[in-house]
Chains A and B, each alone.
Chain A
Amino acid sequence: MSYPETYRYTKEHEWVHLDGDHAKIGITEHAQHELGDIVFVDLPKAGSKVAKGQTFGSVESVKAVSEIYAPVSGEVVEPNSLLSQRPERLNEDPHGEAWLIKVKVATPGEINDLMSAADYQRYVGAE
């Protein structure tokens, strides 16, 4: 599985793709695989605040609920409405179409302590 080079990754298996002061946030291929069949995604509304390291929503598979943590702080611009109707898309395209939220980032420098694609692959390989 390939992890996009332009994304940064957390130890909790989220990714963030920064573009100027806007970012897309999602969960990784590794995370969707571990969760199994995803049946429900709970996301914050546009306008709500997320804080780095704090939970902002949850992803439920058939077997369990997992919290999702914000890799950066900011204000939600858009939750991905696709996932309310088709949560299974998270299993199929977690790095692409099935992103979770778009955020206006407060401090873009916050992503600097996150893992690169290569680091993340080593991290999940060793887990």
Chain B
Amino acid sequence: MVDFGGWEMPVQYSGIIEEHNAVRNAVGLFDVSHMGEIEIHGPEALKLVEYVSTNSASKLKIGQAHYSALLYEHGGFVDDILVHKVAEDSFFLCVNASNQEKDFEHICQHNRFDAAVDLASDRYAQLAIQGPRALATLQKLTTTDLNAIKYYWFTDGIVAGSSTRIARTGYSGEDGFEIYFEPAEAARIWKKVLEAGEEFGLKPCGLGARNTLRLEAKMALYGHELSASVNPFEADLGWIVKMEKGEFVGRSALERALQQGIARKLAGFEMTERGIGRDGYEIWMNGDPVGWVTSGGPSPTLNKNIGLCYLPADRIAPGVNLQILIRNAPVSAVTVPTPFYKRAKA
């Protein structure tokens, strides 16, 4: 078990590769109760969400969710978040565990609206059920028609007898659900999902598999791809920034960044020699340091060593030869298209 911001969390149960493959081919269950939740209520809840986040919350319908970001005035990331629209005057944010207090303070600091901000993490446990058999597994525990929930939509229902927010979201690159409910129910619901998934080959999964899965799907992780010193255009997340929606925190810095041109960008690589480019390793090209690895490791699905890295924006096209400094020895890699893995459309 590793201590993760005060949470004891297993890196693995049966083994990262086995857990990873269960999610790609069947179904996996993750305890992600460490994630933070922030609720925003009130007549001007939408205005506050629009002002502190980059995506266009006014486009959300009730029961819909999207990926978004909180930025500092200088355009760097406070956090990357999921925004759920619960009602016209109520939004539910899922945020990173280690950023939750910072996020809460950031939102409060910019709250000049008629809206109440509530750090609600203590009121929610969260499980993620991910993989092609996630729906079949969870459907055994609820009368809510899960097929009717579209990708990045959610509904409130009953799972195993408990009031639960059921969102068709995830961090694995597979179809699946993230469910939120009272912490007191967590152990019981965990067991129920384990039993329900047994016939489909469900495996309990730890943080290790969560990381290899999200890396293959090129989903960013705060502290790796994202930080206060990186902006969304650099992180290849321009699609969650709606410059046309009007004023929001960080907008003028992003405008300046776009005018000046984005100098570095996130790119994918795979190793072409023996070796694994890990987080933080330097990248060299023609004898000069040009960037660094943000996340790297073996890809169980592709059976290659892959990673994400920051490079000069004119060097990110697929096919660029890189040298990754592994324990002071340069090892060859090449830029490749991302995501590394994309599930076949159902």
Q: Which of A40, A62, A65 contacts B212 (CB 8 A)?
A: A62
* Chain B residues in 8 Å Cβ range of A42: 275, 327
Residue of A nearest to B211 (CB): A63
Interface residue B297 (Cβ < 8 Å from any Cβ of A): yes
Interface residue B339 (Cβ < 8 Å from any Cβ of A): no
What is the 8 Å Cβ interface bit string for chain A, positions 17-53, against chain B (1 contact, 0 not)?
0000000000000000000110110100000000000
In the bound complex, how far is the Cα of B296 from the Cα of A39, in angstroms?
13
Q: Which of B12, B274, B276, B305 contacts A36 (CB 8 A)?
A: B12
Establish whether residues B274 and A40, one from each chain, have CB atoms under 8 Å apart when the complex forms: yes
Known: A36-B11, A36-B208, A37-B17. A62 touches B274 (CB 8 A): no
Establish whether residues B16 and A62, one from each chain, have CB atoms under 8 Å apart when the complex forms: yes
Interface residue A60 (Cβ < 8 Å from any Cβ of B): yes
Q: List 26 A-B contacts (CB under 8 A).
A: A36-B12, A36-B16, A36-B208, A37-B15, A37-B16, A37-B17, A37-B18, A39-B276, A39-B298, A40-B274, A40-B276, A40-B298, A40-B305, A60-B276, A60-B298, A62-B17, A62-B208, A62-B298, A62-B300, A63-B11, A63-B16, A63-B208, A63-B211, A63-B297, A65-B276, A84-B274
Residue of A nearest to B329 (CB): A42
Residue of A nearest to B212 (CB): A62
In the bound complex, how far is the Cα of B207 from the Cα of A63, in angstroms?
9
Interface residue B278 (Cβ < 8 Å from any Cβ of A): yes
Residue of A nearest to B278 (CB): A65
Residue of A nearest to B297 (CB): A62
* Chain B residues in 8 Å Cβ range of A58: 327
In the bound complex, how far is the Cα of B11 from the Cα of A37, in angstroms?
12
Residue of A nearest to B299 (CB): A62
Considering only residues 2-26 of chain B, those with a C-beta below 8 Å from chain A are 11-12, 15-18
- Size of A's binding interface in residues, CB under 8 A: 12
* Chain A residues in 8 Å Cβ range of B12: 36, 63
* Chain B residues in 8 Å Cβ range of A60: 276, 298
Residue of B nearest to A40 (CB): B276
For the complex with contacts A36-B12, A63-B16, 19 further pairs of A-B residues with Cβ separation under 8 Å are A36-B11, A36-B16, A36-B208, A37-B17, A40-B275, A40-B298, A42-B275, A42-B327, A60-B276, A61-B16, A62-B17, A62-B212, A62-B297, A63-B12, A63-B208, A63-B211, A65-B276, A65-B278, A84-B274
* Chain B residues in 8 Å Cβ range of A63: 11-12, 16, 208, 211, 297
* Chain B residues in 8 Å Cβ range of A62: 16-17, 208, 212, 297-298, 300
Residue of B nearest to A63 (CB): B208
Number of contact residues on B: which range applies? 10 to 19
Residue of A nearest to B327 (CB): A58
In the bound complex, how far is the Cα of B276 from the Cα of A37, in angstroms?
14
What is the 8 Å Cβ interface bit string for chain B, positions 195-224, against chain A (1 contact, 0 not)?
000000000000010011000000000000
* Chain A residues in 8 Å Cβ range of B305: 40
Residue of B nearest to A37 (CB): B17
What is the 8 Å Cβ interface bit string for chain B, positions 270-310, against chain A (1 contact, 0 not)?
00001110100000000000000000011010000100000
In the bound complex, how far is the Cα of B305 from the Cα of A60, in angstroms?
12
Considering only residues 166-222 of chain B, those with a C-beta below 8 Å from chain A are 208, 211-212
Closest chain A CB from B16 CB (angstroms): 4
* Chain A residues in 8 Å Cβ range of B327: 42, 58
In the bound complex, how far is the Cα of B12 from the Cα of A37, in angstroms?
10
Closest chain B CB from A63 CB (angstroms): 5
* Chain A residues in 8 Å Cβ range of B208: 36, 62-63
Considering only residues 209-255 of chain B, those with a C-beta below 8 Å from chain A are 211-212
In the bound complex, how far is the Cα of B12 from the Cα of A39, in angstroms?
16
In the bound complex, how far is the Cα of B304 from the Cα of A39, in angstroms?
10
What is the 8 Å Cβ interface bit string for chain A, positions 48-88, against chain B (1 contact, 0 not)?
00000000001011110100000000000000000010000
In the bound complex, how far is the Cα of B18 from the Cα of A61, in angstroms?
13
Closest chain A CB from B227 CB (angstroms): 21
Residue of B nearest to A62 (CB): B16
Establish whether residues B298 and A36, one from each chain, have CB atoms under 8 Å apart when the complex forms: no
* Chain A residues in 8 Å Cβ range of B274: 40, 84
* Chain A residues in 8 Å Cβ range of B276: 39-40, 60, 65
Residue of A nearest to B209 (CB): A62
* Chain A residues in 8 Å Cβ range of B212: 62
Closest chain B CB from A23 CB (angstroms): 24
